[in-house]
Amino acid sequence: MSAFVMPSLGADMEAGTVVEWLRKVGDTVHHGDVIAVVETHKGAIEVEVFEDGVVEEILVPPGEEVPVGTALAMIGDGSGASAAAAPKAPLPAAAPPMAGEVRRPDVLKVKPKAPVAAEEGRRRVSPYARRRAEALGVDLADVKGTGPGGVVQAVDVEQAAGRARASGREAPAAPPGRRRGFDPEAMRQGIAAAMAKSHREIPHYYLDTTIDMQAAMHWLEAANAERPVAQRLLYATLLIKATALALRKVPELNGFWIDGGARPAERVHIGWAIALRGGGLMAPAIHDADTMSLDALMAAMRDLVARARSGGIRGSEMTDPTITITNLGERGAEAVHGLIYPPQLALVGFGRLAQAPLAIDGAVSVRPVVRASLAGDHRGSDGHSGGLLLAAIDALLQKPEGL
C-alpha cells in the first residue's frame, strides 16, 4: 500500500488543487496512467501514477487546495487496507514539507476552492471540464457526461471536440479575455519567485557564441522543399536536436543539483520554453530528445505547444526536464541570457536568426547566424564544460544531415 501524493510540479509550486479525479475507488491503474487533474498557477496539469495497483481510497475531493506532499489517494492491491500506508502523527500545518514526506489531509489545513462539480442548467460539470470546453470551443449542452452521477468530465469534452473535428465542424474561438485554465498574474508571481530563488542561490556563470547557420538553413530549405506544408520542419528542431546530442558529450550539464550535490541525468529530457497566450511561460519536457528523429521532434513540439496553451500538460512533463532551452524565435532579440530553473544545472538560450558579417577563409561574408548562450551552475560545472557544450552544438549544426 502506498500513497499517491500531491506532486511538486516545479520549484515554484507549494500547493495545488485537485480539480478532477479520472479514476474512482476500485479502479485498477498502471504506471503512467493519468489519475487526476491538479490546478496550479501554471494551469491544469494531468498527473500520473507511477505504480500498478488499485485505487483503495480517495482522500482529497475536487476543489480542495493542499500542500505538495499531501496524500491524495491510496494505491494498494485491492484489499482495502489503507490504514498503515501513511503517517498519522499530527504535523503542524505551517511547517514546510520535508523531502519524501507524505501527509494525510486530516492533519492539514485545506482550503476549499470550488465545488466538486458546478451545475450547468440541470447538468453537473467538473471545473476542469468547463475550462477544457472553453479552450476547445465545445458547447457543453451537446456533451454527455460519463463521470459519477453523470458528471461531465474533461475526457467527455475532448471526445466531443474530436467528433466535431472529424465531422469538419469548426469549433468557435474562446471568448476574448476569458481565462484559459490558468491565472496569468499568479503564474507571473510564481515565475518571479522561482527566478528570484535561482538568482539568489545558484552561482551562475554565462557564456555565449555566434553560430554560422548557413549550412543548417540550406539543408533545412532543401529538406522542406520535398515535404508537404503540414510536414515541414521548423529550424528550432535543429537547435533542440543539436543541444540534446551535445549533452551526450558534456553530460555534467544535463541533470540536477539535489541535496548539496550534482546528479547527472541518465537521459536527455529537454524543457522547451513555451510562451502562453495572455502571458506566462512554461517549459514542459520533450522526453529522450537525443534519440528522436527531427520529424518526431517537430511532432512533439507541436503537441506540447497545443496542450500547453489549451490544457493537458502532464505532471511528468513538468518535473522531468534535465535542462531548459529558451528560443526567442524570429522576432526576438539577438541574444538571451536566462536564469537556471532549479534544480536543473544549466539553461541554453538561442536568440533570433539574423544576418551578420563573418570572416570566412580570410574574406568577409554575410551569413545567417544565431547567438547561443549558456547559463551554468558553478557548483556542478565550470566555464570549460560550458564552452565544450556550446562548441559541440556549433559543430553539430555545421552538419545538419547528421542530426
Express each pLDDT in 3-45 by its tens digit: 999 888 776 678 888 888 888 899 999 998 989 888 887 777 8
CA distances from 291 to 240, 295, 345 (A): 11, 12, 21
- Residue type at position 34: V
Contact of 178 with 134, CB cutoff 8 Å: yes
CA distances from 147 to 23, 32, 58, 136 (A): 9, 21, 15, 20
Q: How far apart are CA 18 and CA 388, in angstroms?
A: 44
Contact of 334 with 350, CB cutoff 8 Å: no
Q: What pLDDT is attached to residue 325?
A: 97
Q: Please, which pLDDT band fits residue 126 given cuts at 50, 70 and 90?
A: confident
Query: Beta partners for 210?
Result: 371
Q: What pLDDT is attached to residue 152?
A: 82
Q: Please, which pLDDT band fits residue 103 given cuts at 50, 70 and 90?
A: low
313-314 and 43-48 strand pairing: parallel
- Residues 67-80, mean pLDDT to the nearest whole number: 86
Stronger pLDDT, 238 or 141, i.e. the higher one: 238
Contacts of 147 (CB under 8 A, 6+ apart): 117, 126, 153, 156
* Model confidence at 384: pLDDT above 80: yes
Residue 343: is the preceding peptide bond cis (ω within 30°)? Answer: yes
Specify the range with the lowest mean pLDDT, choosing from 7-16, 170-179, 204-213, 244-253.
170-179
Q: Give pLDDT tens digits for 311-365.
A: 778 888 988 899 999 998 877 789 999 999 999 999 999 999 999 999 998 999 9
C-alpha cell at 276: 502562453
Flag whether the pTM goes above 0.75. Answer: no
**Strand, coil or helix: 192:** helix
- Residues 230-252, mean pLDDT to the nearest whole number: 96
Highest mean pLDDT out of 170-184, 229-243, 269-283, 300-314: 229-243
Query: Beta partners for 371?
Result: 210
Q: How far apart are CA 204 and CA 131, in angstroms?
A: 39
C-alpha cell at 322: 534535465
Long-range Cβ contacts of 115-120 (<8 Å, 24+ apart): 115/63, 116/61, 116/62, 116/63, 116/151, 117/62, 117/147, 117/151, 117/152, 120/152
Q: How far apart are CA 391 and CA 2, in angstroms?
A: 46
Contacts of 177 (CB under 8 A, 6+ apart): none
Q: What is the dihedral of CA 75, 81, 83, 85, to 10 degrees?
A: -40
Q: Give pLDDT tens digits for 139-192.
A: 888 888 877 667 787 778 878 887 877 776 555 544 443 334 456 677 777 788
Q: What pLDDT is attached to residue 116?
A: 44
Domains of the chain: 2-112 (2.40.50.100), 118-166 (4.10.320.10), 186-402 (3.30.559.10)
204-212 and 323-327 strand pairing: unpaired
Burial 367-403 (b: 16+ CB within 10 A, else e): bbbbbbbbbbbeebbeeebbebbbebbbebbeebeeb
Contact of 252 with 264, CB cutoff 8 Å: yes
Q: What pLDDT is attached to residue 45?
A: 85
End-to-end CA distance of the chain: 45
Q: Please, which pLDDT band fits residue 222 given cuts at 50, 70 and 90?
A: very high
Q: What pLDDT is attached to residue 114?
A: 46
Contacts of 202 (CB under 8 A, 6+ apart): 257, 339, 340, 342, 377, 379
- For 189: left if phi > 0, alpha if psi spans -120 to 50, otherwise beta; the answer is alpha
- Residues 228-243, mean pLDDT to the nearest whole number: 95
Contact of 171 with 154, CB cutoff 8 Å: no
Q: Please, which pLDDT band fits residue 381 given cuts at 50, 70 and 90?
A: very high
Rg (CA), the chain: 23
Q: How far apart are CA 182 and CA 106, in angstroms?
A: 28
Residues in the chain: 403
Q: How far apart are CA 110 and CA 63, in angstroms?
A: 10
